[in-house]
């Protein structure tokens, strides 16, 4: 495919404004990467003198400062926001992005403070965002003539299919009651031990002290929505003989998401239809480390991808169930997350053959 041109508009609403005035010309493709729990201070482009350590403390130690030359270059060639108002935690920020509305309209105030109301079937539960907003991000894109794809962390109440997306590849967000995944036991759950409700690691059956979650990095939980391999269904992945054969401890959730995103892009390109991708990546969010439950860092190691001007070099973490040594624990896991996120931006820039409109 041909080289991609990338545009960074300042406002999300601008993408559809551009689409509407470009009816007589080729519509730009739109990709929104919605990073999770990453403060602006983590990106060198903002010039902060303080950032996060692997233990999530404040630090000015340069060993733990992210190196993001690709993101820096994109920002310098385009633009970046200096002042904005937004929710600072997962659920409300996703509700705002999905609906284009503030919390007083969605009623999603905090992770544990969300309004209750009737869903489309009249059942009283967490009020789905699509019930509070007549137009979601996906439906606006669909009405503009785009093929729509949603990848990554969901954390939306109600039906995946009612948010305006044609297809999806989801890693755990809000569906932590799903106990029927036959492919991985990297999850935390509550058990009654000695008359007390205790959170345990399902992989080891040992108690742990963190928040309830399922694995989304290594050996991840993955669901597909209306994928060509399972039309009109929501199914657990891996769901084909080939993917089941390859799936294992070395499977990295963000890579799986990206594989399905690229496949969707290629199919839409072949169809001559513009695409809209909403990629709510987990990258940047802390996580329980199932491969090393005793690790002190809040961020499990990720693959590191480096560009030397001619080719990529990818280094995988050494995956073992043995405890890591102190030197490995001091690695900049936060920096690895940032590198993994920015390399996905670069891949989008070099792999696709149509004009892209990418929003951060």
Residue 273 has phi, psi (to 5 degrees) of -115, 135
Q: What is the pTM of this model?
A: 0.82
Mean local confidence (pLDDT), 210-230: 93
- When mean pLDDT is compared across 11-25, 242-256, 276-290, the lowest value belongs to 11-25
Mean pLDDT of 137-145: 96
Distances (CA, A) of 275 to 167, 222, 238, 265: 11, 22, 25, 7
CA atoms within 13 A on the CB side of 248: 6
Q: What are phi and psi of 192, to 5 degrees?
A: -90, 110
Interval 14-40 mean pLDDT: 67
| E-assigned strand segments in 56-203 | 58-59, 108-110, 113-114, 116-118, 124-126, 147-153, 167-171, 188-193, 196-201
Give the residue-averaged pLDDT of 8-29: 48
Rounded to an integer, the average pLDDT of 233-254 is 94
Inform me whether the pLDDT recorded for 359 exceeds 90.
Answer: no
| Higher per-residue confidence, 142 vs 120 | 142
* DSSP structural state of residue 112: T
Range with the poorest average pLDDT among 53-57, 76-80, 223-227, 339-343: 339-343
Residue with tokens 């590191």: 304
CATH 3.40.720 fits 33-170+239-359, yes or no: yes
Residue 311 is predicted with a pLDDT of: 77
* Predicted pLDDT of residue 345: 53
25-49 mean pLDDT? 88
pLDDT over 90 at 276, yes or no: yes
Tens-digit pLDDT profile for residues 65-103: 988 888 888 888 988 888 877 777 888 888 999 999 988
Give the least confident one: 6-10, 100-104, 130-134.
6-10
> Is residue 321 scored above 80 in pLDDT?
no
Per-residue pLDDT at 48: 94
The DSSP bridge pattern shows strands 147-153 and 275-280 to be parallel
**% the chain with pLDDT above 70:** 79
Whether pLDDT at 16 is above 60:
no
């Amino acid at each position: 495919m041909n080289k991609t041109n990338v545009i960074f508009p300042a406002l999300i609403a601008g993408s559809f404004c551009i689409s509407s005035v470009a009816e007589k010309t080729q519509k730009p493709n739109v990709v929104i990467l919605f990073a999770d729990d990453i403060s602006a201070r983590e990106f060198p482009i903002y010039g902060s003198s303080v950032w996060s350590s692997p233990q999530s403390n404040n630090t000015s130690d340069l060993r733990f400062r992210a190196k993001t030359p690709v993101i820096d270059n994109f920002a310098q060639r385009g633009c970046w926001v200096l002042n904005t108002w937004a929710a600072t935690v997962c659920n409300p920020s996703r509700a705002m992005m999905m609906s284009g509305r503030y919390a007083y309209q969605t009623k999603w105030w905090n992770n544990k403070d969300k309004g209750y109301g009737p869903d489309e079937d009249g059942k009283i539960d967490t009020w789905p965002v699509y019930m509070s907003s007549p137009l979601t991000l996906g439906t606006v894109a669909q009405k503009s003539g785009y093929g729509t794809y949603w990848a990554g962390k969901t954390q939306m109440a109600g039906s995946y299919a009612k948010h305006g997306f044609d297809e999806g590849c989801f890693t755990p967000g809000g569906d932590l009651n799903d106990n029927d995944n036959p492919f991985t036991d990297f999850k935390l759950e509550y058990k009654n031990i000695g008359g007390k409700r205790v959170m345990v690691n399902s992989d080891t059956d040992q108690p742990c002290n963190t928040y309830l979650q399922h694995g989304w990095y290594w050996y991840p939980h993955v669901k597909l929505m209306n994928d060509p391999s399972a039309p009109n269904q929501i199914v657990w992945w891996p769901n084909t003989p080939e993917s089941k054969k390859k799936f294992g401890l070395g499977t990295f959730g963000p890579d799986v998401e990206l594989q399905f995103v690229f496949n969707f892009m290629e199919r839409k390109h072949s169809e001559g239809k513009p695409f809209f991708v909403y990629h709510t990546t987990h990258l940047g969010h802390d996580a329980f480390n199932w491969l090393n439950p005793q690790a002190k860092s809040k961020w499990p190691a990720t693959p590191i991808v480096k560009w030397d001007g001619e080719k990529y070099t990818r280094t995988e973490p050494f995956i073992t169930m043995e405890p890591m040594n102190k030197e490995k624990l001091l690695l900049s896991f936060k920096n690895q997350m940032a590198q993994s996120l920015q390399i996905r931006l670069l891949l989008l820039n070099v792999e696709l053959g149509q004009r892209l409109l990418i929003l951060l």
